[in-house]
Amino acid sequence: MKIRIILHLFFFISIPLLAQKSFKEVPFQEKTNTLLLNKKYTYQVLFKTGDTVYTENGKRGFAKGSHDMILGIRTDRLNNLLLAVSHECNDSSSALGDGGGVSLIPIQFQNDNTWKVSDSIRNVDFTNVGGTYNNCSGTYVEEVEKFLTAEEGTPLNNEVLYKKGKGYTDTSDFNGLKRFENTGWMVEADVYYSKALRKLYSMGRFVHESALVLMDRKTVYLTDDFAPSVFFKFVGNEAFDFENGQLYAYREATASDTSHWIKLPMHMDSLIDIRNVALRMGASYFLRMEWMT
């Protein structure tokens, strides 16, 4: 069997279909509430918006929605995983904390090849860092049982953050910053204790989409889901130190500088507006940077 591919220059070429197995596509349906799967696959609902979630101090709340990142974290027990699900939202919740959030769902693989939720669903407590906003992607650092979660958004003022009482209900200053300025950062959290450790101000404030920690456990690539966006790199002073280090912005090589990386100023006045600072310093323009691998 042969197929024809139309190229942009309107040439026609023919190529043989080598080693391509037949695939029966799933019929397209617009705006359907039915999940359509190939007959070879099955699915289970393990966690959904509105499920009961417990905090470390014993409170109960309803799981937030707008699920984004799903991390599968290995545990020390056979056939067990811990799912970390981030919530890209800005909702008010007296029990779980205002803004976004992360839920931790323990699941266990069964003998009948299914999964089940094996214990209570927990909420990561972000109150000690002033809450989070629009939790997007992130990454897990297995050696220290920490994960980095990205705040994908930089609201312009406290009114946007407050969202007519449906978002942040507390808009007082936090850690020397206006409350809206305390959003839009990477946040480091402890999986074991289900608690945030710190906001990583040294990684800059922008529309954080994702983070990729390299094998040296010091270098972290950071994407910016904005237009225009900048590609950032953070290098910690030591391995597993994501708080203290140097932030860089990517720049296309020039005849006089082939290093590709601009060293950025590390004082808060710059970090809080680091994308514009980087662009003024000559960083390359990107468009809506997403996840990376």
Q: Which of 267, 134, 108, 276 is nearest to 208 (CA)?
A: 134
Domain that holds residue 185: 50-280
**Residue 88 domain-assigned (yes or no):** yes
What percentage of the chain has pLDDT greater than the value 90?
A: 79
Compute the distance between CA of residue 176 and CA of residue 203 in angstroms, rounded to an integer: 18
pLDDT of 40? 81
- What integer pLDDT is reported at residue 186 of this predicted model? 98
* 135 within domain boundaries: yes
Helix (H, G, I), strand (E, B) or coil at 275: helix
Could you tell me if residue 2 is inside a domain?
no
Residue 79 lies in a domain: yes
Q: How far is CA 229 from the centre of its chain?
A: 16
Q: Residue 25 domain-assigned?
A: no
Number of folded domains that form the chain: 1
Instruction: Give a yes or no: residue 36 inside a domain.
Output: no
In a domain, 275, yes or no: yes
pLDDT digits (tens, 9 = 90+) for 149-179: 999 999 999 999 999 999 999 999 999 999 9
Pair 84, 47: CB distance under 8 Å: no
Predicted confidence (pLDDT) at residue 8 exceeds the cutoff of 60? no
Note whether residue 91 is domain-resident: yes
Residue 241's nearest CA partner among 204, 272, 198 is 198
